[in-house]
Amino acid sequence: MYKPVIKAAKDKMEKTKDVLRREMASLRAGRANPKLLDRIMVDYYGTQTPLNQMANISAPEPRMLTVALWDTKAIPLVEKAIQMSDLGLNPANDGKLIRLVIPELNEERRKELTKLVWRNAEESKVAVRSIRRDAMDQIKQLEKDSDISEDDKYKAEDELQKVTDAAIKDVDEIAKEKEKEIMAV
């Protein structure tokens, strides 16, 4: 009777972890990764458009990204959007292609990025705990409505706690992995 509540909570926790993974993929770790530009939005004819929907982004070298726009008239707009972003990249174009050289991260920037990683991880943990709290409320409501027994309520709460602990452990693993990637010289 309480299984759907736990399954729904588990699914929401998985989505939270997926969001964190995407967030981590867009953080710069010193080497070129096309996902780095996923968060860049370009003011294209008055509409905020994701850069990856306007261009082909590739990493031909370990420290370089190339952005091949489908509409070359938008190159100045894309350059401006990249410069305005928090990535600290300086675009260079040859009229057809934008090249982004990814500089090595200095120690100070590495530490800033590490702090950002752990802040994102903490936000994800808060979200996971919030999902757990909502599920606990639903379980208590089921007991109150006499849909489940008191024993089932305790079983459900125990099972939910195990799911929550596993999700938080996964969030920590994701953050540790990204921290290791950032700190690698």
User: Other C-beta atoms within 10 Å of 124: how many?
Assistant: 25
Domains of the chain and any CATH numbers:
3-25+106-183 (1.10.132.20), 34-101 (3.30.1360.40)
This prediction has a pTM of: 0.69
Q: What span, in angstroms and rounded, lies between the C-alpha atoms of 25 and 36?
A: 7
Specify whether the CB–CB gap between 75 and 38 falls below 8 A: no
Residue in 57, 149, 36 with CA at minimum distance from that of residue 99: 57
pLDDT in tens, 104-156: 777 887 888 888 889 999 999 999 999 999 999 999 999 999 888 989 999 99
Separation of alpha carbons 62 and 28, rounded Å:
13
Residue with tokens 């990535």: 87
Mean residue pLDDT of the chain comes to 87
In whole angstroms, give the CA distance from residue 74 to residue 104.
Answer: 28
Residue type, 106: N
For position 28, what pLDDT does the model report? 64
